């Protein structure tokens, strides 16, 4: 890709790795394998106690989780740290978003993105820094993403003389619903930006590894809700009613046929009905039933076709049962598609930083990510950062009340982290 210097791209990508100096198996990477930029950044991180500072940031955010577009305290903390570093920023953007700028202020512009929002879950992990807000929890690692991007900001600011361009630091609200990325785009955060990078911690990938792929990496997703209206009555005399529960049941079965009988078996798709609300009594046929769910696909064409057929099936099957149906489609995330040119740069940087054996290709995931909105506008790249450590057992999955962010670091400062075989494992 010829639109910005390779060294500048290397610099921005390295920043996504080096804030936590613990990603590589020390036996697989030697100091000779690391380019000058990663080595300089890693040495800076060790000497400045950057990791411990980041741990403190992450734990403050974890203790005080905030939902989408409510991240006021998180945003305040971010701005305070950027002020301390002398990094200029814009605020507010998309209610709580913050966008910082490090470098010359001139092209090329490359963006790094972190999401800030938590989830409406009660944390079940008993530890010193458990969430203090009942019913809210960082159960997807966004607190760690913010800490890593602030760490990247500190390293950048400490090496601003190397930057021949501008790194844009995007702290985004509302990834977990609410289309925060789209709101940031609408506010103009991608102006002059030529590429954007994002990452996500992953409990299923071994620590010391990163994984990604070119092309589609996460599915496009949408949500639907339908109201099926009939005629209510007594459950003992159904002939005097028009039963919307029966109609809804037929609809749910027919929706499953969209994947099993209409989709190409090699074109992965999902339709799941996860909501069914009818009468609250055992002997009442309700006037209406509400159903809802999600649908996912890996291409825009398949996604739109699935959306069209969902509406046709719901209204058609309702009519068969003499009911009426209205269908609403709620928020949608596009397919997350990694730029193929950026993938080659990613493999070069990750291979240099971690070793090629720790840079993995992966299969696409049916989960969705609103980073995809950025990728519809400019070239973008998204990858996953491993957290799994067999000695700690299997980690809880995303969106679980038992979710943990576990990373390793080496505390002894006089021995390079990449040449020593022992790490201290703890919660980040």
Query: What per-residue confidence (pLDDT) applies to 13?
Result: 52
Please enumerate in sequence order all residues whose Cβ is within 8 A of that of 49, keeping only pairs 6 or more positions apart, or say none. Answer: none
pLDDT value at 11 more than 90? no
User: Does one domain contain both 67 and 185?
Assistant: yes
DSSP label at residue 119: B
Which alpha helices (DSSP H) does 165-299 contain, by range?
180-186, 244-257
**Which range has the worst mean pLDDT, 33-37, 261-265, 418-422?**
418-422
Each residue of 371-414: pLDDT tens digit?
999 999 999 999 999 988 777 678 899 999 999 887 654 343 33
Q: Distance (Å, rounded) from C-alpha 159 to C-alpha 145?
A: 21
Q: Distance (Å, rounded) from C-alpha 235 to C-alpha 283?
A: 5
Query: What per-residue confidence (pLDDT) applies to 411?
Result: 41
Residue 142 in contact with residue 114, Cβ under 8 Å? yes
Residue 353: inside a domain, yes or no? yes
Instruction: Tell whether residue 159 is among the known ligand binding residues.
Output: no
User: Does one domain contain both 13 and 132?
Assistant: yes
Each residue of 301-342: pLDDT tens digit?
999 999 999 999 999 999 999 999 999 999 899 999 999 999
Confidence of residue 98 (pLDDT cuts 50, 70, 90): very high
Residue 319: inside a domain, yes or no? yes
What is the model's pTM? 0.87
End position of a domain, from candidates 290, 316, 333? 333
The whole domain housing 405 covers 6-218+335-427
Each residue of 114-171: pLDDT tens digit?
999 999 999 999 999 999 999 999 999 999 999 999 999 999 999 888 888 999 999 9
User: Does one domain contain both 28 and 85?
Assistant: yes
User: Does one domain contain both 122 and 248?
Assistant: no
DSSP bridge partners of 216: 337
- Top mean pLDDT of 9-13, 112-116, 207-211 is at 112-116
End position of a domain, from candidates 317, 333, 349? 333
Residue 1: inside a domain, yes or no? no
Each residue of 40-55: pLDDT tens digit?
777 787 777 888 899 8
287's tokens: 């006037």
User: Does one domain contain both 197 and 254?
Assistant: no
Task: Give the pLDDT mean for 205-226.
Answer: 95
Residue 110 in contact with residue 194, Cβ under 8 Å? yes
Instruction: Tell whether residue 138 is among the known ligand binding residues.
Output: no
**Which range has the worst mean pLDDT, 61-65, 163-167, 190-194, 255-259?**
163-167
Please enumerate in sequence order all residues whose Cβ is within 8 A of that of 188, keeping only pairs 6 or more positions apart, or say none. Answer: none
Q: Distance (Å, rounded) from C-alpha 413 to C-alpha 428?
A: 19
- Per cent of the chain over pLDDT 70 is 86
Q: What does pLDDT average to over the chain? A: 87
Q: Distance (Å, rounded) from C-alpha 415 to C-alpha 426?
A: 20
Count of other CB atoms within 10 angstroms of residue 235: 15
User: Does one domain contain both 56 and 173?
Assistant: yes
Query: What per-residue confidence (pLDDT) applies to 34?
Result: 53
User: Does one domain contain both 100 and 227?
Assistant: no
Please enumerate in sequence order all residues whose Cβ is within 8 A of that of 264, keeping only pairs 6 or more positions apart, or say none. Answer: none
pLDDT value at 104 more than 50? yes
Instruction: Tell whether residue 145 is among the known ligand binding residues.
Output: no
User: Does one domain contain both 402 and 373?
Assistant: yes
User: Does one domain contain both 314 and 367?
Assistant: no
Q: Distance (Å, rounded) from C-alpha 216 to C-alpha 416?
A: 37
Q: Distance (Å, rounded) from C-alpha 169 to C-alpha 373?
A: 17
Confidence of residue 35 (pLDDT cuts 50, 70, 90): low
Residue 103: inside a domain, yes or no? yes
- Number of structural domains (the chain) is 2
CATH number of the domain bearing residue 140: 3.40.630.10
Query: What per-residue confidence (pLDDT) applies to 21?
Result: 35
Q: Distance (Å, rounded) from C-alpha 38 to C-alpha 18?
A: 7
Query: What per-residue confidence (pLDDT) applies to 407?
Result: 63
Report helix, strand or coil for 400.
coil
Residue 380: inside a domain, yes or no? yes
CATH number of the domain bearing residue 265: 3.30.70.360
pLDDT value at 16 more than 60? no
38's tokens: 């990663």
Report helix, strand or coil for 163.
coil
Instruction: Tell whether residue 140 is among the known ligand binding residues.
Output: yes
**Backbone torsion region of residue 177, taken as left when φ is above 0, otherwise alpha when ψ lies between -120 and 50, otherwise beta:** left
Count of other CB atoms within 10 angstroms of residue 103: 21
Q: Distance (Å, rounded) from C-alpha 233 to C-alpha 286?
A: 7
User: Does one domain contain both 140 and 173?
Assistant: yes
Instruction: Tell whether residue 18 is among the known ligand binding residues.
Output: no
Which run of H or of E encompasses 138?
none
pLDDT value at 231 more than 70? yes
DSSP bridge partners of 294: 223, 272
User: Does one domain contain both 279 and 359?
Assistant: no
Which of 306, 323, 307 has the alpha carbon at shortest distance from 315? Answer: 323
End position of a domain, from candidates 286, 307, 333? 333
Q: Would you list the DSSP string of 45-101?
A: HHHTTHHHHHHHHHHHHHHS---TT--HHHHHHHHHHHHHHT--EEEEETTTEEEEE
User: Does one domain contain both 99 and 190?
Assistant: yes
Residue 340: inside a domain, yes or no? yes
Residue whose tokens read 């950025």: 374
Residue 420: inside a domain, yes or no? yes
Q: Would you list the DSSP string of 329-394?
A: EEEEE--EEE-HHHHHHHHHHHHHHH-GGGEEE---BS---TTHHHHTTS-EEEEEEEEE-GGG-P
């Amino acid at each position: 890709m010829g639109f910005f210097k390779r060294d500048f791209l290397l610099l921005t990508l390295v920043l996504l790795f080096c804030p936590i100096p613990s990603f590589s198996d020390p036996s697989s990477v030697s100091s000779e394998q690391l380019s000058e930029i990663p080595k300089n950044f890693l040495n800076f991180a060790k000497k400045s106690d950057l990791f411990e500072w980041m741990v403190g940031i992450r734990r403050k955010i974890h203790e005080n989780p905030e939902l989408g577009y409510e991240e006021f305290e998180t945003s305040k903390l971010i701005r305070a740290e950027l002020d301390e570093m002398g990094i200029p920023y814009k605020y507010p953007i998309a209610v709580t978003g913050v966008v910082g700028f490090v470098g010359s202020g001139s092209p090329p512009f490359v963006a790094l993105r972190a999401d800030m929002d938590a989830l409406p879950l009660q944390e079940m992990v008993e530890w010193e820094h458990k969430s203090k807000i009942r019913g809210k929890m960082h159960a997807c690692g966004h607190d760690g993403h913010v800490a890593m991007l602030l760490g990247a900001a500190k390293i950048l600011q400490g090496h601003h003389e190397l930057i021949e361009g501008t790194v844009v630091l995007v702290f985004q609200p509302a990834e977990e619903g609410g289309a925060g990325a789209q709101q940031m785009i609408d506010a103009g955060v991608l102006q002059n930006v030529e590429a954007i990078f994002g990452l996500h911690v992953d409990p299923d990938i071994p620590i010391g590894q990163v994984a990604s792929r070119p092309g589609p990496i996460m599915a496009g997703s949408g949500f639907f809700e339908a109201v099926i209206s009939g005629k209510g009555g007594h459950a003992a005399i159904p002939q005097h009613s028009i039963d919307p529960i029966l109609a809804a049941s037929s609809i749910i079965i027919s929706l499953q046929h969209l994947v099993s009988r209409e989709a190409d078996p090699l074109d992965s798709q999902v339709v799941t009905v996860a909501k069914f609300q009818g009468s609250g009594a055992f002997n009442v046929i309700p006037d209406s039933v509400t159903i809802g769910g999600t649908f996912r696909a890996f291409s825009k064409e398949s996604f739109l076709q699935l959306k069209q057929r969902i509406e046709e099936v719901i209204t058609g099957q309702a009519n068969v049962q003499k009911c009426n149906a209205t269908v609403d489609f709620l928020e949608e995330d596009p397919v997350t598609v990694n730029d193929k040119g950026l993938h080659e740069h990613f493999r070069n940087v990750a291979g240099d930083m971690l070793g090629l054996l720790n840079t993995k290709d992966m299969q696409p995931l049916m989960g969705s990510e609103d980073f995809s909105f950025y990728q519809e506008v400019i070239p973008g790249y998204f990858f996953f950062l491993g957290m799994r450590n067999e000695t700690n057992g299997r980690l809880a999955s995303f969106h679980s009340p038992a979710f943990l962010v576990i990373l390793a670091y080496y505390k002894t400062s006089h021995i390079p982290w990449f040449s020593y075989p022992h790490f201290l494992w703890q919660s980040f």
